[in-house]
Amino acid sequence: MTPCIPGSGEIISVRGLRKSFKARRGGAGGAAGAGAAAAGAAGTATRAGRVEAVRGIDLGVREGEIFGFLGPNGAGKSTTLRILSTLVAADAGEIRIAGFDVRKRPGEVRRKIGYVSQAGGADPHATGREDLLLQARLHGLDRSAARRRAEELIQALVLSEFVDRFVKTYSGGQKRKLDIAIGMVNCPKILFLDEPTTGLDPVSRAQLWTQIRQLRDLGTTVFLTTHYMEEADVLCDRIAIIDHGHVVMEGSPADLKGGIQGDILSFTVNHVPNAPEAALEALRGLEFIREAKAEGGSLRLVVSRGGEALPVVLRLLESSGVGVADISLSRPSLDDVFLRATGHSLKDGTAPVSGIGKE
Amino acid sequence: MRFASDFSVLFGRAIKGSLRNPVWLFIGMFQPVLYLLLFAPLLKGLSGVPGFPAGGAYAVFTPGLLVMLALFTTAFAGFGLVEHIRSGLVERLLVTPASRLSILLALLARDVSVLIAQSVIALGMAALLGLEASLAGLLVTLVLMVVTGLLMASCSYALAMLLKREDAMASVLNTVATPLMLLSGITLPLTLAPKIIQAIASVNPLAYEVTAARSLFLGNFADSSLAVSFALLGGLAVLAFWWAIRSLRKAAA
């Protein structure tokens, strides 16, 4: 594949981005990616029939990195992505993509980017090769150049096994590969991927991660949304955590996790009324506990020197009559970062790993 | 030229998609053909009844049949768009440098081509059954149908982008198209209808179109309904096209 020219500096800059939609009555079951209906489904604060999907976002993405937009469904991720890729006009804010103002020069921006929505975008009644050719022609390549570019992508992304079959016969993983190839046809400086691995099996997901890294290594900046912590952690060079239309934290996964000093000690207490409160009371005053929080029937502590803390905590709880199960001691995860920044867990209210969540 | 290239590439995609699902082209023709085979013969006994137009059963019914085709087959064009909103194809095309105009015009050109093909087949069948008509009149009728098709398909696309669901679209289309058809004299001439129905039908552009087409089949280009239907349908088609392109621009569906 033709490598794009690497450079440095901020390739996406977003300042003060805001967007609200008309709230729809009962329209939440609409088509995947239906902006207003989807934003309304998960809902952020409303004023007089409007849903504020994005409430003042600032972002900077550096050239050549994989940037992840992490947040629960309905946080405003897809809306932001659609604004950045010229599909939706923002209410307010300044956005520059590869040096061009999205509002004033959408045509230039479209030449510089690839966009893969959650639904993908391949024509189910065409073959993969036809889809690649269509995309190439619309990006201004003539017939023979389009054929060459399609062939390059078929080789680079290993599509040859299925590329001449109709798209509607593809497996989820094959379809995703084609979608990404379509997004790469114009050799974009920035590739936008909306929830690229949602609904994929673990093997396809791992393959996709490898391919996304390869694209980055060839110089493409990748901007993706995800609600999987693991994906943000393992795949992304830097992430922004978004919740209720705000960016609550931005940085590399390692730096963000490093912001929590200590280990995470979490456990479930027995189903007795006030057991969590009793447990918190029993542990009050221990100098190695930096933070403690009860959530439902479980407790979550940030402790320094976890190995030493564990037996002490267990002994104290036992002597105060609180039964304990499911103990775990771990290094901080992005969920801990998310919890600390927002006061709630990223796992709350989102679909499990195989989810069909859409934003 | 950029626009021409985008248009032809997009038109090629759309027409290929239709040819791969020819079953839809025939389903669209099913109802009109049934009318031609099972209903038109009933009209034979009516010639000579006061108010029944001149020209014999097929010359009276076939123009209505063509208008029915133009009304129903293009009105359902938006269903394909709903599918492609769902598959993400629409968003994908909107993020390419191709203009919104070329995207919409390619779809409309496909719909009009399909409509013309269906009309020619229907006319061939009517000719086999005994239709006799003026060739020049037939050609002008086809132009009238193309305008109708552009109107209905544009409305259908705008609705698709507004509703984004097949079931909602089907109920809206049936609610609108059925009275339009009943009040147009497609099946039986409105000259047979009571005064009150004639009065309501006088605001239906399709009623003028059917009357105009019947005159055209007989080689009469002077009937006032011809100018009225071109003006009404043309004006509405322009409005509908504006509605559709505006929906596409802000849809980002």
Report the gap between the CA of B147 and the closest CA in chain A (Å).
28
Q: Is residue B178, in this structure, part of any structural domain at all?
A: yes
Q: Is residue B207, in this structure, part of any structural domain at all?
A: yes
The pLDDT value given to residue B252: 53
For residues A98-105, average pLDDT = 94
The model's pLDDT over A187-208, given as tens digits with 9 standing for 90+, comes to 999 999 999 998 889 999 999 9
Taking contacts as CB-CB distances below 8 angstroms, the residues of chain B near A87 are 91, 94-95, 252
The pLDDT value given to residue A4: 45
Q: Under an 8 A CB cutoff, do B91 and A115 touch?
A: yes
A12, A74, A133, B160 from A127: Cα distances, Å: 33, 33, 10, 25
pTM, entire model: 0.85
Q: Is residue B50, in this structure, part of any structural domain at all?
A: no
The model's pLDDT over B206-217, given as tens digits with 9 standing for 90+, comes to 999 999 999 999
| A278: pLDDT strictly greater than 90 | no
What's the sign of the alpha-carbon dihedral B55, B56, B62, B65?
Answer: positive
The pLDDT value given to residue B251: 65
Q: Is residue B244, in this structure, part of any structural domain at all?
A: yes
Residue of chain B with shortest Cα separation from A118:
B88
Q: Which residue has the higher pLDDT, A80 or A46?
A: A80
The pLDDT value given to residue B253: 39
Tokens of B143: 């132009």
Q: Under an 8 A CB cutoff, do B164 and A34 touch?
A: yes
Q: Is residue B49, in this structure, part of any structural domain at all?
A: no
Please enumerate residues of A whose Cβ is less than 8 A from a Cβ of B.
Answer: 30-35, 37, 82, 85-89, 107, 110-111, 113-115, 117-126, 130, 134-135, 137-140, 179, 182
Considering only residues 155 to 214 of chain B, which have any Cβ-Cβ distance to chain A shorter than 8 Å? Answer: 164-165
Each residue's pLDDT, cut to its tens digit, for chain B (253 residues) gives: 789 999 999 999 999 998 988 877 777 788 788 888 888 888 887 777 777 777 788 888 899 999 999 998 898 899 999 999 999 999 999 999 999 999 999 999 999 999 999 999 999 999 998 888 999 999 999 999 999 999 999 999 999 999 999 999 999 998 998 888 889 988 788 888 889 998 998 899 999 999 999 999 999 999 999 999 999 999 999 999 999 999 998 765 3
Measure CB to CB from residue B97 to each of A85, A111, A134 and give the nearest one.
Answer: A111
For residues A24-36, average pLDDT = 42
Band (pLDDT 50/70/90 cuts) for residue A22 is confident
Q: Is residue B48, in this structure, part of any structural domain at all?
A: no
DSSP assignment, residue B50? T
The pLDDT value given to residue A32: 36
Taking contacts as CB-CB distances below 8 angstroms, the residues of chain B near A85 are 95
Taking contacts as CB-CB distances below 8 angstroms, the residues of chain A near B5 are 137, 140
The pLDDT value given to residue A306: 81
Total domains in chain B come to: 1
Find the Cα–Cα–Cα–Cα dihedral A236, A239, A244, A246, rounded to 10°. Answer: -150
| A357: pLDDT strictly greater than 60 | no
Range of the domain at B69: 2-43+55-252
How far is the C-alpha of B188 from the C-alpha of B52, rounded, in Å?
9
The model's pLDDT over A118-150, given as tens digits with 9 standing for 90+, comes to 999 999 999 999 999 999 999 999 999 999 999
Q: Is residue B94, in this structure, part of any structural domain at all?
A: yes
- A:B CB pairs within 8 Å: 98
The pLDDT value given to residue A48: 62
Angle at B159 between CA A49 and CA B169, to 5 degrees: 100
The pLDDT value given to residue B228: 95
Residue of chain A with shortest Cα separation from B3:
A138
Q: Is residue B192, in this structure, part of any structural domain at all?
A: yes
Tokens of A341: 């920044």
The pLDDT value given to residue B57: 83
Q: Under an 8 A CB cutoff, do B13 and A137 touch?
A: no
How far is the C-alpha of A150 from the C-alpha of B6, rounded, in Å?
18
Band (pLDDT 50/70/90 cuts) for residue A24 is low
The pLDDT value given to residue B172: 93
| A238: pLDDT strictly greater than 70 | yes
Percent of chain B with pLDDT over 90: 63
**Whole-number average pLDDT of chain A:** 84
Taking contacts as CB-CB distances below 8 angstroms, the residues of chain A near B6 are 137-138
The pLDDT value given to residue A5: 46
The pLDDT value given to residue A307: 83
The model's pLDDT over A307-349, given as tens digits with 9 standing for 90+, comes to 888 888 888 888 888 888 888 888 888 888 888 888 777 776 4
Measure CB to CB from residue A87 to each of B20, B98, B252 and give the nearest one.
Answer: B252
Report the gap between the CA of A179 and the closest CA in chain B (Å).
10
